[in-house]
Structure formats: structure tokens, C-alpha cells
Amino acid sequence: MRFDIVTIFPGFFESIFVHGIVRRAQAEGLVEIGLHDLRAYAHDRHRTVDDRPFGGGEGMVLKPEPLAEALQALGIRAKAQRATTAKTRVILLSAQGRVLTQAVAREFAALDRVVLICGRYEGVDERINDIYCDMELSIGDYVLSGGELAAAVVVDATMRLLPGVLGNEAAGQFESSRRDRPLAARAAVAQNVEEPAVPAGTSDIEPRRLQNAGGNPRRGALSDSRMWCGLQHGKGAVKKVAFFVHKKP
């Protein structure tokens, strides 16, 4: 899969995409990321990419000419000229757009190419949105200085859903936008708090999804239970177990 990012700050991504899973995915040829400096498509002396809003008003707006030229250089045609079956999407990162969720990330992961336009200043000339963009996308109900942070989030959330990126296909099988249980590392005692004892008769079972842990709607767990994961040392093997600890009513 390929991501193309159009931005006035390509250097912003230099440290982000050279670490962890994103770096490995690129090294293994599973993901390609292209960074495109919008100023390269501005031809005046100062490489100007912004201008004051038509009709007046505060702030600056990204001009349509450099953006249109940048998209055309990437082989992106106007929406009306693109095949409806094309597996490429042009996304304008905007505070007023559709909110990124795990479901949206899965939609992107089914594509061959995603082109991300990083807005700046007050925004992007609306004609670019109307002519080229398939959707506007936001990563949350707040305003950022530009779309670069949002673009990095979109790349990370999407590429980890691609086959082979996580290394273990089962690792992403239970991906969710919610943390599914309270977590504990395999230390018997941490900060003078002991790990829960293994209930009698606990066998080698796989942790399962729980609903509504502790009344927290962002965490899936049984309302009357908490789950701790650890290892149980049995004869000849180390067994993975899940500890279900019932809370007091």
C-alpha cells in the first residue's frame, strides 16, 4: 500500500516514520510513504502557497494552484474523471471532516493508495476539496495547527491493519478502538501490590473480551470482573492463563 502526503513541512515526518512498526513495514516493502513538498509547486520568487481569503477575513488560505499541480504530478485526476472502482482515495485533513475511527482505518486498509493533503492556516481553498478530494477527515473534535500530525495518525492506524505488518496475523484480529481489560505485566509484585492469585481450577484458557469494565464505557470488560494476564508455571511448560477476579458488590 502507498501513502502520499502533500505538506509544506515534509521534514516534520522524518523522525516519525523511521521508528517502530512503520519503519519495519517500509523496510519489508509492505508500505510505501511519499512526502511531497507543496512549495515545490509554487513558482514565484518566494514559493508562496497561501493567500488571503477571497472577500476578506482573518487568516490565510492554501492556494488552489500549487495544490492542483501537486496532485496532478502524483497522477491524481479530478474526481469526475476518476473511475469509481479506483482503489485510490484523496483525503483532505480538516477539523470539520468525518472523524477517524477503526472502521474508517479498515476502509483505508482495503485501498491501494491514500493521498493525504495536510491543511494549514485557516484551511484549503474549497475548490480543491470540490474537484479532487473524496472526503474530509478529522482525527478528533479539536483544532490542530496543521494536518501533519493527523496524517501521521492516519498512516499508523491504517498500515497496522495490513497483512504482515504486525508480524502475527492474529495480533490484529481483535483490534478495537477500546482497551479491552485492565493490564498487568508479569511482575509478581509491583509498587508493593501483588499480582492476583490464580483461582483454583484455572486452566490454560485464552483471555476473552469483556464488556463494560468498572463502569468505564471506553473499556470492554465484564461489569463484575477484572482480568489480569500472566503466566502459570506448570510441569514441563509455561501456560498462559487469564485471571478473572470478581469485584466485591
In angstroms and rounded to an integer, the radius of gyration of the C-alpha atoms of the chain is 24
pLDDT at 22 over 90: yes
Domain boundary residue, one of 171, 192, 214: 171
For 153-195, what is each residue's pLDDT tens digit? 999 999 999 999 997 654 555 555 455 566 666 666 767 776 6
If asked whether residues 90 and 12 sit together in one domain, one would say: yes
Mean pLDDT of 112-132: 92
**Residue 13 clears pLDDT 80, i.e. is over it:** yes
Please check whether residues 234 and 146 belong to one and the same domain.
no
pLDDT in tens, 33-69: 999 999 999 998 898 888 887 777 778 888 999 999 9
Pair 194, 110 in one domain: no
Same domain, 164 and 184: no
Query: Do residues 107 and 100 lie in contact, with contact meaning Cβ atoms separated by under 8 Å?
Result: no
Q: Are 6 and 118 in contact (CB under 8 A)?
A: yes
101 and 185 both lie in a single domain: no
- Which amino acid does the sequence have at 171? A
Query: Residue 27 maps to which CATH number?
Result: 3.40.1280.10
Q: Final residue of a domain: which of 128, 146, 171?
A: 171
0.85 surpassed by pTM: no
**Cα end-to-end span (Å), the chain:** 50
Question: Residue 134: pLDDT above 80?
Answer: yes
For cell 478495537, what's the residue? 176
Closest CA to 33 of 187, 178, 165, 186: 165
Q: What is the rounded (10 degree) CA torsion for 77, 78, 80, 86? A: 40
Together in a domain, 127 and 25: yes
Last residue of a domain, one of 120, 146, 171: 171
> Which range among 19-23, 184-188, 236-240 shows the weakest confidence by mean pLDDT?
236-240
Q: State how many domains the chain has.
A: 2
**Domain shared by 139 and 158, yes or no:** yes
Residue 183: per-residue pLDDT: 66
Same domain, 51 and 108: yes
| pLDDT score of 9 more than 60 | yes
* 80 conformational bin, left if phi > 0, alpha if psi -120 to 50, beta if neither: alpha
Domain with 190, as residue range(s), is: 178-246
**Residues 61, 124 within the same domain:** yes
67, 103: one domain: yes
Q: Do both 39 and 140 map to the same domain?
A: yes
Q: CA torsion sign, 223 to 239 to 162 to 22? A: positive
